[in-house]
Amino acid sequence: MPINELRSITTFIRTVELGSLSRAAAAQQISPQAASKALGQLEQHLGVRLFHRTTRRMSLTEEGQRFFEAAQPSLIGLQQALSSVRQTREDLAGPLRIVGPRSVSQAVIGPLLDEYCRLYPEVQPDIQLDDRLGNWVEDRVDVGFRLGASPDEGLVARPLFHMQLLICAAPSYLRKYGTPKNLYELDSHRCSAFRRADDGRVLPWRVRVGDSDQQHPVRPAFCTNDEILELRAVLAGEIIAQLAVPTAASLIRSGRLVPVLPEHMTDSYQLFIYYGSRQAQPARVRRFIDLALERLCNNTDFVLSRDELVRAAASVEGI
């Protein structure tokens, strides 16, 4: 018969400490019958009697006394370890490892982290931004953000909002180089493109054509894997670029950027937040997840409505 060694040893130690099997059972919130069975299984497993028993009294045998003296410190150490881990689970202090894509990090993840750090200054965020898909276990991730498809099985994934990708330019660029009327005219413009760090490949733009998304290669006048550098060059009027709307939205609303060919904007990607089992999360991780869902889920600051696009695109006519 299999034996639950931890329960059996705990029952034995509690019986010695409390002086009776019934008190040991009550302390463990189990029935006296279950406690008696656990004690009997332990004696059978060890091959010795641990107690002298009568109908009224129990006393340790010589072997029982030796086992008690050896086992009690170890059980106390184990209980302290369990208590420490449970305390850590509820502790709003300690490291918080977050991973996410380099794109949209400034506009989306940055303000969220600022607020979280103000609320929980004892937490030490460790943020790694990388457009590659890392290994959740090896990287010891607490919370992640990802663009595109839902993350791996075994993780909880919550969609936050659809990621719009929009071709944009500064008014100064359009005054200097003109406004492309269709995708083919982009060949004569100073376009920006993303170059993958792992293989050096220049990625095409992803555009909506009719009812489907297509890849549209561009001849880049500017390449980078850093969204902030690209945005700086766009605002300076040096290039035309396809930008993530969370990065560009406030600049379009203020008139510093203008949407170009808005009919080709795509929103087939989604931004996800993902994490492990919610029941096993430390408090600092749960609070970050809750804050992220509250601030980011379906947040209209990070998307442009059709009316906003129409108004912003109409401003091109006056340039």
Kindly tell me the number of DSSP H helices and DSSP E strands found in the chain. Answer: 10, 13
| More confidently predicted of 168 and 56 | 168
End-to-end CA distance of the chain: 85
Q: Would you say residue 318 has pLDDT above 60?
A: yes
Higher-confidence position of 90 and 38: 38
CA distance 311 to 160: 26
- The one-letter amino acid at 309: L
pLDDT at position 149:
60
The 10s digit of each residue's pLDDT in 253-306 is 999 999 999 999 999 888 999 888 766 678 889 999 999 999 999 999 999 998
Average pLDDT estimate for 14-31:
84
Dump pLDDT digits (tens) for 54-90: 666 778 888 888 888 888 887 777 766 666 655 554 5
Orientation of helix 110-119 relative to helix 283-296, angle to 10°: 130
Dump pLDDT digits (tens) for 193-233: 988 777 778 889 999 998 899 999 999 999 998 888 999 99
Using DSSP, state whether 178 is helix, strand or coil: coil
- Domains of the chain, CATH where assigned: 5-90 (1.10.10.10), 94-319 (3.40.190.290)
SS in 3 state form for 217-257?
CCCEEEEECCHHHHHHHHHCCCCEEEEEHHHHHHHHHCCCC
Q: What is the residue-averaged pLDDT of the chain?
A: 84
Tell me: pLDDT of 169 over 70.
yes
What pLDDT was estimated at residue 276? 81
Name the residue among 236, 235, 257 with its Cα closest to residue 309: 257
The predicted model scores a pTM of 0.68
Question: Could you tell me what percent of the chain has a pLDDT over 70?
Answer: 87
| Region for 303 from its dihedrals, namely left if φ exceeds 0, alpha if ψ lies in -120 to 50, beta otherwise | beta
* 153, pLDDT greater than 70: no
What pLDDT score was predicted for residue 1? Answer: 42
